[in-house]
Structure 1
């Protein structure tokens, strides 16, 4: 699986759940964990370069609507028939659900559930 992440938080989640090995490109602001800095950049979160994304031949792009204006990225991806999923969590619970969702689509579900369990413990303490 080849993934391009268009949002730093999604990039960090992918690496936290063990799906970092699938990430082949990221937005210009993704910089953690450190190995992300070596990955190809596809542009800033509000102005990604679709040609750079296409050149990476992703099986999936993980997009976000966390910042107003990011819907333009969705339009670009759709217009170029690039497969994508959009995350738009509005609460802590939705963030945790998105982590599990990413685990399910990257075959890292057990690790994702473990990350969520640890986060829940920290939230509750």
Structure 2
């Protein structure tokens, strides 16, 4: 249960966004740790009998598969690309440029829905 609670706290603190300014080696280590905590939380949720906590969606059965679990408030890069009318690669570039907020979990990029909405608003105003 502690992994699930810690994961919820990290999401509230926007831990992934704060990691962006770290040096590459530190950033990689912190992101790996955060991914491990997320995996622990998902594993706990799948194997828990507690009815009072929200259930998490299952992870893929094989570790080689990309992670396709949903992250609250985020869509995949594919979904963001469809909404923006561009390619998935361009979405990843926009994250690196700071135009969108997102993070990679396993092999899947998750883009904050709000950052896509904000980008579309800025694009409409310009």
Measured against the shorter chain, the TM-score band is under 0.3
Q: TM-score, normalised by structure 1?
A: 0.27
Question: Rg bigger for which structure?
Answer: 2
Decide which structure has greater helix share. 2
